[in-house]
């Protein structure tokens, strides 16, 4: 097991990313690119969500072949997968990764610097409008998780939880 938990299955709806399936060179490149963002930003998100100490405990314990129930419960609280004929995958970690993926992909790096792609009958929209909604929903989800972790029963189970990085997971005002 172990981190990362996110897969392309989580990037649906408002967090949809195109061309993440198939065996074409472009599709495979997109999957590799997304996986880099997952590998880089999912761990950062979990650290900001749980605090340094609880994150380190969680990362170490969830990596064992049969983690304790409390670690599986925490994972299932952060990563919700509904079962059935059409399973759905939900996690605030998805919005965090999506935000950084969209921010980087608004422009392209070429030998002369950064460029923005042009379109014959369209224009690129600013990423703050594309990613602010999902980011702010992620912040709401984080607050709910923090409240759950601060309940008396969870406090005893996860005594090393800390909101030390709460400021890093704050709301974004799209008008600024």
Spell out the domain ranges in the chain: 8-165
Condensed to tens digits (0 to 9), the pLDDT of residues 18-68 reads 777 777 887 788 889 999 999 999 999 999 999 999 999 999 999 998 999
Q: What distance in Å separates the CA atoms of residue 118 and residue 122, rounded to the nearest whole number?
A: 8
Q: What distance in Å separates the CA atoms of residue 135 and residue 131, rounded to the nearest whole number?
A: 6
List CB contacts of 9: < 8 A, sequence separation 6 or more.
87, 89
Query: Would you give per-residue pLDDT tens digits along the chain (176 residues)?
Result: 679 999 989 998 889 887 777 778 877 888 899 999 999 999 999 999 999 999 999 999 999 989 999 999 999 999 999 888 888 999 999 999 999 998 876 655 555 654 555 555 555 555 555 788 999 999 999 999 999 999 999 999 999 999 999 999 999 987 76
Per-residue burial over 159-168, b if 16 or more Cβ lie within 10 Å, else e, is eebebebeee
- Tokens read off for 58: 């969680």
- Tokens read off for 167: 């400021």
């Amino acid at each position: 097991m172990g981190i990362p938990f996110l897969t392309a299955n989580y990037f649906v709806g408002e967090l949809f990313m195109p061309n993440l399936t198939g065996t074409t060179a472009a599709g495979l490149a997109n999957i590799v690119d997304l996986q880099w963002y997952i590998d880089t930003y999912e761990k950062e998100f979990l650290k900001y969500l749980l605090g340094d100490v609880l994150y380190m405990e969680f990362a170490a314990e969830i990596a064992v072949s049969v983690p304790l129930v409390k670690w599986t419960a925490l994972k299932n609280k952060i990563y919700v997968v509904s079962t059935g004929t059409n399973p759905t995958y939900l996690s605030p970690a998805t919005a965090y990764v999506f935000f950084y993926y969209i921010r980087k992909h608004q422009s392209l790096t070429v030998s002369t610097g950064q460029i923005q792609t042009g379109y014959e009958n369209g224009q690129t929209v600013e990423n703050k409008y594309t990613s602010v909604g999902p980011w702010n929903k992620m912040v709401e989800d984080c607050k709910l998780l923090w409240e759950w972790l601060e309940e008396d029963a969870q406090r005893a189970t996860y005594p090393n939880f800390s909101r030390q990085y709460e400021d890093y997971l704050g709301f974004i005002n799209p008008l600024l």
